[in-house]
Chain A
Amino acid sequence: MKEIIKLILKYHFTIIFIILELISFSLIVLHNNYQRTVFSGYATSFFGGISSIVTQVDDYLFLKVTNEKIVAENTKLRNEVERLKKINQAYCADTIWQPLDSTEVDYVYKTAEMINSSFNKTKNCIVIDKGRKDGILTEMAVCSSEGVVGVVEKVSRHYARVLPLINTNLRVSAKIKKNGYYGSLQWDGDDYRYSYLNDIPFHVNAEIGDTIVTSGFSSIFPEGKLIGFIESVNKETANFLKIKVKLATDFKRISDVYVIENTKKEEQQDLGKENYE
């Protein structure tokens, strides 16, 4: 304490000078319109800059929470879209009007998170954190926001195993969006970014860059879900093309997926069986 007082006494000339200059400066800023405007401009941009940096850091730290929120909201919106589609159909159809149960939609979306995945084997698989408890059943479709991921293969109480598109055992019915010709998509076990669409007749006009979507025949996937884009077209046999498809989903990067439940699957399958028998 004594030392501090000594120090103040020693430099009292400078300290008083600084105090007087601060008083002068504050008087300049307070009493002159021009200087006040300039000063408040600087102050605003300075503190605005600081607070924007803080906000950026904040945003980054809460990115995960925000992401989860958005995914949940997306799921809700997709369900809503399906419901509205259904209602819309009822109004557009040229039939006698029928009261429609709003819960009776074709597809229900559920959010799930990938907890384990592989992409470097020929029989890759993905594990998601939703299981029987959450209403996941086998043969449900799995999509990400980018495109189709795969099909649920096995379900436990809390988890489910998904056969992704990059598994040689999975065949998905796919079509060229442009003209509707459909074939089966199967992976060759080589590069996780590309798959092959077979059984397209050779006369079909397939060009590089065309969109490949799900056909909706399998009663697993809704119709028109994005699978990928044509990378190259080869004529494999006399009658069929072998189309190399660049998958829309990046299997190395996805983390949040949607599980899509077809609520009318049994009905569709039963009808198919009856017909067959």
Chain B
Amino acid sequence: MSNFKFILHLFVLLLLQLAILDNIQLHSYVYINIYILAIYILPYRLRNATLLFFGFFLGLIVDLANHTMGIHMAASTLLAYVRPRLLMLTSNREQIDDIQGEQKISDFSWFFKYIFISTFIFNVVLIFCETFSLQNFLITCLRIIFSTLVSTFFILLYYFIALKKNKTVK
């Protein structure tokens, strides 16, 4: 994927997030965040401080738009930090190359695992930063689980519609 294409996707993701998804009110139990897909699909070789700053400023943009200063920043910076380790854990070298390319993903399960765990970590930080206390712990956990499930669904939806469209042949 070229840089231009990546920036285009980043732009579309942010637009979707800020213009549409952030305006959907689902009883405060469910937060849908798909902009973090931009961190997932970064090139694998990008694993130095740039990755961290990318996550940091991506969160900053969403925070500025939502008036939730710092919350998305903390979550997406953590996401950028765990990304290289998580990739090492869940996959091998060949599979990592798959994320970038437009060809069909050969093994869906590891990809799903990677996306799901990442989204879960993101939502844990996000929702705990928001509630900022251990009261109503069960409700907080429920919110994390619902948000993770729905966000993962939308991320996969966008991923397979926009990024992997009809290029089924290697």
Contacts and interface: CB of A to CB of B under 8 A. Distances in A.
B49 A12 contact: yes
A253 interface: no
B68 interface: yes
A20 B52 contact: yes
A109 to B, nearest CB: 58
Contacts of B53: 16, 20
A31 B49 contact: no
B108 interface: no
B70 A16 contact: no
A17 interface: yes
Interface string A26-61: 111111101100110000000000000000000000
B48 A13 contact: yes
Contacts of B74: 21, 24-25, 28
B78 interface: yes
Given A17-B81, A24-B70, A28-B74, A34 B132 contact: yes
A32 B70 contact: yes
A86 B29 CA distance: 79
At the interface, is chain A mostly helix, strand, loop or mixed?
helix
Contacts of A34: 132
Contacts of B78: 17, 21
B69 interface: yes
B42 interface: no
Interface string B56-97: 100100010000111101100110110000000000000000
A37 to B, nearest CB: 9
Nearest to A17: B81
A27 B52 contact: no
Nearest to A28: B70
B129 interface: yes
Interface in B18-34: none
Contacts of A35: 129, 132
Contact of B71 (A17, A20, A26, A32): A32
Given A21-B74, A21-B78, A28 B129 contact: yes
Interface residues of B, number: 21
B133 interface: yes
Given A17-B52, A20-B52, A27 B69 contact: yes
Contact of A13 (B49, B63, B129, B133): B49
A38 to B, nearest CB: 5
A39 B70 CA distance: 14
Given A17-B81, A38-B132, A39-B132, A24 B49 contact: no
A39 B80 CA distance: 26
A23 B73 CA distance: 9
Interface string A163-207: 000000000000000000000000000000000000000000000
Interface of A: 12-14, 16-17, 20-21, 23-32, 34-35, 38-39
Given A13-B47, A16-B53, A28-B69, 12 more contacts: A13-B49, A17-B80, A20-B53, A20-B56, A24-B74, A27-B63, A27-B69, A28-B71, A28-B132, A32-B69, A32-B70, A32-B71
Interface of B: 47-49, 52-53, 56, 59, 63, 68-71, 73-74, 77-78, 80-81, 129, 132-133
> What are the 6 closest A-B residue pairs judged by CB atoms, nearest first?
A27-B70, A31-B69, A28-B70, A24-B74, A24-B73, A17-B81
30 contacts: A13-B52, A13-B81, A14-B81, A16-B53, A17-B81, A20-B52, A20-B53, A20-B56, A21-B78, A23-B56, A23-B73, A24-B56, A24-B59, A24-B71, A24-B73, A24-B74, A24-B77, A25-B70, A27-B70, A27-B73, A28-B74, A28-B129, A28-B132, A29-B70, A30-B70, A31-B69, A32-B70, A35-B129, A38-B132, A39-B132
